[in-house]
């Protein structure tokens, strides 16, 4: 509504904006309701998984103290081996799998020498990473 304080009784040239605001509010409400219902993005289909990839077992080398003083026992993936067979066993494992990480578990009662031997053999066999873990 337009009000004028003047005393002229001639034609009024001011625009009445009340109906315009009403129309804009109605359009705003309509667009607020419609926009969440419109689909967004592209319609596409993703390739389906053909199954689980084979799980790679990590290579675990256990170094344990033996029954007698100075005796050291070696196990690769829960299989007892001798120190001499350690390098060839690791080379065979690395040739068959892509993951060339070796996890070394060692008793705390051991000196560092048997663990250093395992790390050196693993590096010579082609291990990229060697992870050390001490047991209680």
Domains of the chain: 59-135 (3.30.420.270)
- Could you give the 3-state DSSP secondary structure of residue 44? coil
Q: Residue 97 corresponds to which tokens in the numbers above?
A: 């799998």
Q: Is 59 exposed, middle or buried (0-12, 13-18, 19+ CB in 10 A)?
A: buried
pLDDT over 70 (residue 62):
yes
Higher pLDDT, 1 or 45: 45
pLDDT over 80 (residue 37):
no
CA-closest candidate to residue 90, choices 128, 130, 126, 132: 126
Kindly report, residue by residue over 103-116, the tens digit of the pLDDT. Answer: 999 888 888 898 89
- Helix axis angle, 112-125 relative to 86-96, nearest 10°? 40
User: What is the predicted pLDDT for the residue at 34?
Assistant: 83
- Which residue, chain included where needed, has tokens 């596409």? 44
- pTM beyond 0.75: the answer is no
Higher pLDDT, 8 or 122: 122
Average pLDDT of the chain, as a whole number: 82
């Amino acid at each position: 509504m337009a009000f004028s304080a003047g005393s002229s009784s001639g034609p009024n040239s001011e625009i009445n904006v009340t109906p315009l605001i009403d129309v804009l509010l109605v359009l705003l409400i309509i667009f607020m309701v419609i926009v969440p219902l419109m689909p967004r993005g592209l319609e596409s289909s993703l390739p389906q998984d053909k199954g689980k990839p084979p799980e790679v077992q990590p290579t675990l080398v256990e170094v344990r103290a033996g029954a007698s003083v100075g005796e050291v026992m070696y196990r690769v993936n829960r299989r007892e081996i001798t120190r001499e067979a350690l390098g060839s066993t690791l080379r065979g494992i690395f040739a068959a799998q892509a993951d060339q990480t070796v996890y070394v578990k060692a008793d705390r009662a051991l000196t560092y020498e048997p663990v250093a031997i395992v790390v050196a053999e693993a590096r010579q066999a082609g291990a990229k990473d060697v992870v050390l873990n001490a047991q209680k």
